[in-house]
Every structure is written in structure tokens, then in C-alpha cells.
Amino acid sequence: MTYSLDIITRKKLILVRQFYQKAVVQAEVMHSDIDRIMAIITLDLANETILKAIVSAVAPVKNPERFFHKLVDQANNELVTAGLAPIHHIVELKRVHDIRNDAQHKVKYPNENEVSDCRTYTRDFLRQIVLEIWGISFESISLVDVIQHTKIKGYLAEAEQHLANGEYAEAVVKSSAKTRQNVAHGFIRKRT
């Protein structure tokens, strides 16, 4: 059984995807202590945000817990109560959070292995939980989904596809309103 994806939950999942993508970029700068710390904080934020989205989707009358460890337990309990599979990554989620706490509150810089592990834990958790609860792949979540203007949405969806294919110049052209306008008016010729 999966839950339908209403507009509020979709926006929450888009936010989670943006947090995750930002953290992945920050994690790539391994020589920077600050970027590693920010990657850990952002990964933890993605996890916390999706846990709150889970509670809101599965038990809409309940408020999500404020403290992380209680929130993990609450989300897990609500999933089980609803007849869904429990969270398979509880130990890993708590590990990401503990590393974040050490970085934020104890000024303990995460090393490259910790950042890599946290990125992997978060990615695996997000992929599994989104698929199990909402029946969609985590990678398919896009900010384009909330755009209502059909033509602009189409351009941005094409740009996103070009970006995924590594076609960066085409992605920029498709995502640029000014460029599309100039192409439409014949000021810029399309490449052949």
C-alpha cells in the first residue's frame, strides 16, 4: 500500500531532494572542513524533513516530535501501525545525526569517510522510504513538478533531462527564458 502524493507532501519531498543534492555537492569538497560539516548538517536535515513528512502523511492528526531520536521512533511506529514496513535504516539515521551533533556542538570535524558514509546512509534511506511510502523513485522528484505553467514546465523538464544526460550547454539553453525568447524571435539560431 502506498500513499497518494498531495501537493504539500510533494513540496516537502522536493525540499528533501534539494537538501540531499546540496549536501552531495558540499560533500565533494573534501579538503574543506566547513563544506564537510555543512554536508553532514544538510544530510541530517534531509533525513529529519522526510521523517516529519512521513508522520504528516501517515498520521496527519499527529504533530511530529521535535527531538530527532523521538521523531525516528515516532515515524517508525506510525509506519508499523499503518501496516507498512518499518524503517530499515534506523541505526544509520541515528549515526548521521550523531555525527552532525558532534560537528555542530562539539566542534568535531567529520572526516572524509564519515561524510561518505553519511551520504550513502542518507541516499539509501531516502530511496527506500520514498519508494515504499509514495511509490515513486527518489530521483524522479523534481522542483519542476510544482510549476503550473505548461510551456515553462516543458522547457524546464527538457533542461533537466539534458542535465541528467550530461548535456550541459543544452540544459542551460532550455532553462534560460531569455534564450528561449530570443530563439523564438529568430535572434539566435538553434545549433544543428
Q: What is the pLDDT of residue 83?
A: 93
The backbone torsions φ and ψ at residue 159, rounded to the nearest 5 degrees and listed phi first, read: -60, -40
Please say if the pLDDT value at position 92 is more than 90: yes
Once rounded to an integer, what is the mean pLDDT over residues 166-176? Answer: 81
Tens of pLDDT, residues 104-154? 899 899 999 999 999 999 999 999 999 999 999 999 888 787 777 788 888
Once rounded to an integer, what is the mean pLDDT over residues 75-103? Answer: 96
Cα–Cα dist 112/31, whole Å: 9
What structural domains and CATH numbers belong to the chain?
7-143 (1.20.120), 147-184 (no CATH)
Once rounded to an integer, what is the mean pLDDT over residues 153-182? Answer: 77
CA 133 and chain centroid, separation: 15
71-95 core/surface letters (b: 16 or more CB in 10 A; e: else): bbebbbebbeeeebeebebeebbee
Cα–Cα dist 122/100, whole Å: 13
Tens of pLDDT, residues 25-83? 898 887 888 999 999 999 999 999 999 999 999 999 999 999 999 999 999 999 999 99
Q: pTM for the whole thing? A: 0.81
- What are the grid coordinates assigned to 57, written together? 502523511
Q: What is the pLDDT of residue 157?
A: 83
Q: What is the pLDDT of residue 161?
A: 83
What percent of the chain is modeled with pLDDT above 70? 92
pLDDT band at 178 (very low <50, low <70, confident <90, very high): low
Inter-residue contact 166 to 33 (CB < 8 Å)? no
